[in-house]
Amino acid sequence: MAGTRWIGEAVATRPGRMWGIQGKAALVTGGGSGIGFGAARRLAADGALVTICGRTEDKLVKAADAIAPDVGEGGAIRWVVADVTVEDQVATAIEAAQGPGGGLDILFANAGGSQHLSSFESAEAAAIRSTVDLNLVGTMLSIKHAVPAMRRAGGGAIVAMSSGAGAFPHRWLSAYGAAKAGIDMLCRSAAEELGGDGIRVNSVRAGIVDDELMSFITAGGPLLDDYIAGMPLGRVGTVEDIAEVVRFLVGPESSWITGANIPVDGGHHLRAGANYSLLFGPDAG
């Protein structure tokens, strides 16, 4: 099932100033909550024509309604139901997100998550496959179908959601980490291939962020303590921390940056990865 609708008219909040992404057509996958929601709100506030997609219609409607009051001059917010692991639905979402001229300027391939959390010896193949499918294959399909629309727009900017888990080991998070590492390489490969089309591709290696997905960790406990001990800046991230970097990477301010995998993690990448076995007690790992 797929559907779209506009949420009212754009609200002018910064009259008299042109912004670098004003009027640009953008798609944010996994935009109904968390980092995707925060990034969509940030892009819309600077006047982008933002479409959010996800699998749950009610969540998308609520998210779009919440973003609408913050939409900047020239911008808008709309939604489309789509599962990034289903190629036909990804193609539909890309089509729905195109601007009046029939092109796409911005893609934030944010949809992801982990279906696997265990030691190697207790890992289930189905959980590993679904984790790789959601993260790596879903990102690949999103980029694949964005490319023709970006060529029609004369170029564009793609940002994929990676993780520190893809750059350095997080115990018991191996499938997620492997999928995110694959996203980083996917972005470097796409950046090399698509640069001639004026399409830039980068990824953000997010650290632990205090959002709906991570609330079971950020509420406190041994795993949060382990995270904090591993971060020079000593705090969890916010949705806004990530959204600001995404905004930079899709705008003209970063026009000479492509193929980069950027850590946004309070310095966590300088130390050791988190130990997810702590969720199951001190003796689990």
Residue 96, SS3 per DSSP: helix
- Annotated active-site residue 227? The verdict is no
* Closest to 206 measured CA to CA, from 30, 20, 79, 41: 30
User: Is 30 in a helix, a strand, or coil?
Assistant: coil
Asked if 61 and 285 touch (Cβ cutoff 8 Å), the reply is no
Positive or negative torsion for Cα 30, 161, 279, 217: negative
Three-state SS at 36: helix
How many Cα atoms sit within 13 Å of 199 on the Cβ side? 27
- Of the candidates 176, 181, 182, 201, the residue annotated as catalytic is 176
Q: How far apart are the first and last CA of the chain?
A: 42
Nearest to 108 by CA among 243, 253, 263: 243
Q: Is the dihedral of CA 125, 36, 93, 136 positive or negative?
A: negative
Query: Residue 190 and residue 184: Cα distance in Å, rounded?
Result: 10
Following DSSP, what letter does each residue of 193-260 receive, concatenated? HHGGGTEEEEEEEE--B-STTTHHHHT-SHHHHHHHHT-TT-S-B-HHHHHHHHHHHHSGGGTT--S-
Q: Which residues contact 17 (CB under 8 A, 6 or more apart)?
A: none
Active site residues: 176
